[in-house]
Structure 1
Amino acid sequence: MKKSLLAVAAIGAFASAAQAQSSVTVYGILDVGFQGVTTRVGSAKTNVTKFNGEGAETTSRLGFKGTEDLGGGMSAFFTAEFALVPTDVDLSGDKNTGLANRQTFVGLKKNGIGAVALGTQYTPVHLAVGRTDPGQQNNMLGNVIYAQGGGSGNGQTTTAYTTRYNNALTLQTENYAGFSAYGIYNNNNSNANNPSTTQAVTNNEALGLGINYVWQKLIVDLAVNSSKQQTITGTTNTAAALPPTSAAIGVIGNQLGTSIGTMTTYAGATYDFGILKAYAQYINTKYTSNLDSNAYVTRAAQQVGVRSFVTPTIEAFGSVGNGQFTAGSAAAIVTAGTRATQDFTGYQLGANYWLSKRTNMYAIFGSTQVSTSSVTASEGGSSYGLGLRHTF
């Protein structure tokens, strides 16, 4: 009898130890409020207001993450995170209504070396912007680095760079003397092998590298994303489409266009002076036709900003930036083979009132303006958001 009791106790202790070595966390954000967006193209103006808008400050989301201790300093981990649309009745997973994949991956980590992961993951540029953006990647107009459409709540894409790659392999190093590195490789290639029909090949390939440096109150980030999409039907390389300017909430894996090469470089820094944090950012993205290197569009921008706690519960932030579009000779971008440029500016002002560490009320206003060129009329817009955000 005593032996049986000892065996039961030993099994129970072993099960408790096994459970202690692994953990799963449920987390998320709900951001709902009131939004207004005004857009202008030439003399035309459009106003859109949403009483029950969502995601002005942060995209709502639901996530699961976990780790398991494998012993010897090795561990397994996973993350599955999905965008939520609180004002939509449908959570079916349809790309425009409700649940949509933000990042889903699984990986292994070795203490003292780093981690490797596979799945849908953020690009080095997106991670670097997240650490050095005064607006913390909100969804309002006016941020020229993390360019958004004005509070749609999606927060899945930006017209300034590619936020994530699916089918991606990433490598993350440990911190060495303040330095850490993050690399990503994406490969979505396909082929056909039917001699009786015209074969089609679609190749998507991307890679990126980011370096982060932290020294006391200083953070510096350098990052690059490079991607190429090529479509071949038979022996013909499909003509290049115009560079992508936006994407639906579900089209987030490879924002590469058709027969388009994309290169983004980013540099950002922030320093905490105690009474405020100062930010400086620069980004350059170039979309180039695989068939004609003279057919391209570049978007370059720079931005500065600050964040500060005015009181222990009131936090304020602001940013201002400008940039320029430059076009090559692709049809519908310029006329008669000439090149065109457009200048743009943007600014944001915002404040948070913190009710607790997890709950805050916010107010954000942002505005952007694009100049007239020989090809297109001036355009711009402004947006504001008032809301309540809770993290869990």
Structure 2
Amino acid sequence: MKKSLLAVAAIGAFASAAQAQSSVTVYGILDVGFQGVTTRGAASSSTSTAVQNPVGTNGKSNQTRFSGEGAEQTSRLGFKGNEDLGGGTSAFFTVEFALNPTDATLSGSYGNGLANRQSFVGLKKSGIGQAAIGTQYTPIHMAVGRTDPGQQNNMLGNVIYATNASQGSGQTATSYTVRYNNALTLMTDRIAGFQLNAVYNNNNTDTNQTASAGGSTNNNAYGAGLNYVWQKLNVDAAFQASSSPNWSAQQTTGPALPASASTAVANLPANVLGTAINMGQQYYGATYDFGILKAYAGYISAKYSNQAAPSSYLQRTAQQIGVRSFVTPSIEAWASAGTGRFTGQNLAQSAASLVAANSSSLTQNFSGYQLGSNYYLSKRTNLYAIYGSTAVSSSSVAQSEGGSSYGVGVRHTF
């Protein structure tokens, strides 16, 4: 009898231990609220009929809505798990989808109602690092996440992580590629404050990465990032490069048009650099926690060039500073301000409209600022209010444009 009891106890203990070695976590964000967007479109230039107004109307455009496209963060549902394989080795996975709480389909119009944000599986070895394969964030996106005072929200005003198209303004569109499909990533453990990560993919279709957010077809890419943490200081440096032989001929807006970073670029006809494009993106950012507030600084550069003629290029650069602080234990506030410039050179060989405008190059400046606040009802639930504004100067190709947006709502994390 005693032997039987001991056997049962041993089996129970073994089962408990085996169960403890594997775990799955369900997590997510629901962010809903009310948004208002005002944009000021540029009138069509008289120098060339090919230079169009991307907004579609002159003057201001206003819209207000209850929105499931969260102002503070994109709503999402995710699953992540970890299994202990023994000897300091473990397997892990993440599957994460976007949510649109106010749309009939799960993720709105993306992917027939289900948008894949991340899906990858990998192995980790304690003391060395980890490797993973699947749809994953790029080194720059992870670096910006650590050094953005607005924490990558979806409102206008941020010149580093610019808003999505739902805010009705492309002047300061996304300046870097957010994720790659079919990506192999490597990340070391942190050693003496340093942590290195890298990404590589080959013939990436980027089917879940829209053109206006830096994706393309048949895209080859690689990149790396370095993060350093020392006491209250955090420093990030990252770069990524990709090439595509068949860039979409229909792209006319968005950061990845190769010039996609600006209205000046968006005002040009599609394929101002041809369909074979090289993309080079780099980012440098830092934060320092002073105790009463945290200070932020960042710089980004994205250059798009013709593969056959590298001297024909479009480039977007931007720099931004900001602060973030808890005013009271339950009230958090932040502010940011930044400037930037769009530059194009030797565009006449691929943009006939610029010949008519007697210019083979262009420059256009832009600026933005943002203010925001959170009121925490609990650790997982907060009310928020965010306001942001952007402005783009006149140039020889495009007239001035601008936009502002505000969002108030509630965010719950689980």
- TM-score range with shorter-chain normalisation? 0.7 to 0.9
User: Which residue does the alignment assign to 2:18?
Assistant: 18
Instruction: Give the aligned partner of residue 261 of structure 2.
Output: none
Cα deviation for residue 89 of structure 1 reads 1.4
Matched residue, 2:300: 283
Match of 2:337 among 320, 326, 335: 320
Question: Structure 1, residues 269-320: CA drift from partner, whole Å, max 9, x if none?
Answer: 0000011111111000001121322322100000000001111111110000
CA deviation after TM superposition for structure 1 residue 110, in Å: 0.4
SS in 1 for 2:16: helix
Secondary structure of the corresponding residue to residue 374 of structure 1 = coil
| Aligned match for 2:123, one of 86, 103, 108 | 108
Which consecutive unaligned segments of at least 5 residues does structure 1 have? Answer: 191-201, 232-237, 248-255
Stretches of structure 2 lacking an aligned partner (at least 5 in a row): 43-57, 206-216, 257-272
Contact 1:56/1:151 (<8 A) preserved: no
Distance 2:385 2:354 in 1: 39
2:181 corresponding residue in structure 1 = 166
Specify which of 125, 129, 137 is matched with residue 152 of structure 2: 137
For 1:158 and 1:28, locate their aligned partners in 2 and report how far apart those are by CA, in whole Å: 26
CA distance in 2, matches of 1:144, 1:269: 16
**1:77 corresponds to which letter in structure 2?**
F
Q: 1:126: which partner in 2?
A: 141
What is residue 27 of structure 2 aligned with on the other side? 27
Q: Go from structure 1 to structure 2 and tell me whether the alpha carbon gap of 1:332 and 1:112 turns closer, same or farther (over 3 Å shift).
A: farther
Match of 1:361 among 344, 362, 383: 383
Q: After the TM superposition, which residues 295-374 of structure 1 pair with which residues of structure 2 at under 5 Å, given as runs? A: 295-328=312-345, 329=347, 330-331=350-351, 334-335=354-355, 336=358, 338-374=360-396
Q: Measure, in 1, the Cα distance between the counterparts of 2:78 and 2:305.
A: 36
> TM-score with structure 1 length normalisation?
0.87
Partner of 1:388: 410
Query: Which residue does the alignment assign to 2:70?
Result: 55
Residues of 1 paired with 2:17 and 2:2: CA distance? 23
Q: Give 1:10 deviation, angstroms.
A: 2.8
Q: Closer, same or farther in 2 for the Cα pair 1:11/1:257, shift >3 Å?
A: farther
Aligned-pair identity in percent equals 68
Aligned counterparts of 1:51 and 1:343: Cα–Cα separation in 2: 32
Residues 68 and 152 of structure 1: CA distance in aligned 2, closer, same or farther (over 3 Å):
farther
Query: 2:48 maps to what in 1?
Result: none
8 Å contact from structure 2 (residues 390, 404) kept in 1: yes
The amino acid of 1:142's aligned partner reads G
Using the alignment, how far apart are the partners of 2:274 and 2:22 within structure 1? 41
Contact 2:387 2:405 in 1 (8 A): yes
**Kept in 2: contact 1:142–1:368 (CA 8 A):** yes
More helix by share: 2
Q: What TM-score do you get using the length of structure 2 for normalisation?
A: 0.82
- Contact 2:107/2:115, CA 8 A, preserved across alignment: no
SS at match of 1:54: coil
Rounded to whole Å, the distance in 1 between the matches of 2:37 and 2:63 is 5
Distance 2:274 2:384 in 1: 36
CA shift, 1:104, in A, is 0.7
User: What is the match of residue 399 of structure 2?
Assistant: 377
Partner of 2:269: none
Q: Is the 8 A contact 1:150 1:383 kept in 2?
A: no
1:74 aligns with 2:105: no
Aligned CA RMSD, in angstroms, stands at 2.6
Name the SS of the counterpart of 2:25 in structure 1: strand
Q: Which moved more, 1:4-13 or 1:104-113?
A: 4-13
Asked if 1:178 corresponds to 2:179, the answer is no
Does the CA-based 8 Å contact 2:72-2:154 persist in structure 1?
yes
Within 5 Å, give how 1:252-291 maps onto structure 2. 258-291=275-308
